[in-house]
């Protein structure tokens, strides 16, 4: 993460906390982040110094005014004005980090050989919450190389319950 992302994301977090608007700002940042990720041309437009700043700020207002809290659209405008809009993802990541710490939330990434259905995701999320004592925000990904089972990353730890790792363990044991 960049120093700009850390500084600006933390500043937005403190502002949202002061305004008692953390949940709404967190949701808005997620929505804006998805827009920026899926519309790279929009980010390119906002970052182009050859386009008058008033036009770029007007585009932010047109896209977000009334759809996100004012502090979020103002924040995006500030990033545009300072030439930092490409750091939006870093800012969002820092905000989310602070938000999760405050709300006792851990982000868990689960990798499985096939897509988990909603019931399986919920069962896993609840199991992780019981074992960690924290609220869990679960992200799932498919990794066919796992063969079966699951790998979970949470709070800097890796829990490998995959068939691939079990086969590797058995092969290592057989070599002894």
Q: What is the CATH number of the domain that holds 22?
A: 1.10.520.20
Looking at 54, 77, 101, which one is the last position of a domain?
101
> Count of CB atoms within 10 A of residue 130's CB?
9
Calpha distance 68→12 (Å, rounded): 14
Last residue of a domain, one of 101, 119, 149: 101
- Whether 65 and 119 map to the same domain: the answer is no
Q: Rounded to whole angstroms, how far apart are CA atoms 147 and 156? A: 23
Q: Is the pTM of this model over 0.95?
A: no
* 13 & 94 share domain: yes
d(CA 73, CA 76): 5
Domain boundary among 72, 101, 130: 101
- Cα dihedral: 63, 65, 70, 72 (round 10): -10
Q: Quick one: 74 and 133 in the same domain?
A: no
Domain match, 61 and 26 both: yes
Asked whether residue 116 falls in the same domain as residue 76, the answer is: no
The per-residue pLDDT string of the chain (176 residues; one tens digit each, 9 = 90 and over) reads 789 999 999 999 999 999 999 999 999 999 999 999 998 899 999 999 999 999 999 999 888 888 899 999 999 999 999 999 999 999 999 999 999 999 999 999 999 989 999 999 999 999 999 999 999 999 999 998 888 889 999 988 898 888 777 777 887 888 87
Q: Say whether both 119 and 33 belong to one domain.
A: no
| 124 and 61 in a common domain | no
- 115 with 30, same domain? no
- Asked if residue 79 and residue 135 are part of one domain, the reply reads no
Name the residue range of residue 159's domain: 104-175
């Amino acid at each position: 993460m960049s120093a700009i992302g850390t500084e600006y994301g933390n500043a937005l977090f403190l502002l949202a906390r002061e305004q008692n608007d953390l949940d709404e700002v967190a949701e808005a940042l997620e929505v804006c982040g998805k827009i920026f990720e899926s519309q790279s041309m929009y980010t390119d437009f906002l970052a182009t110094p050859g386009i008058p700043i008033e036009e770029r700020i007007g585009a932010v207002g047109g896209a977000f005014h009334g759809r996100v809290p004012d502090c979020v659209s103002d924040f995006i405008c500030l990033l545009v004005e300072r030439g930092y809009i490409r750091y939006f993802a870093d800012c969002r990541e820092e905000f989310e980090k602070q938000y999760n710490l405050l709300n006792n939330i851990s982000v868990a990434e689960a990798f499985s050989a096939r897509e988990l259905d909603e019931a399986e995701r919920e069962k896993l999320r609840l199991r992780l919450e019981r074992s960690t004592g924290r609220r869990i925000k679960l992200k799932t990904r498919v990794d066919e190389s796992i063969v079966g089972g699951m790998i979970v990353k949470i709070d800097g730890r890796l829990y490998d319950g995959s068939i691939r790792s079990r086969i590797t363990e058995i092969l290592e044991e057989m070599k002894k």
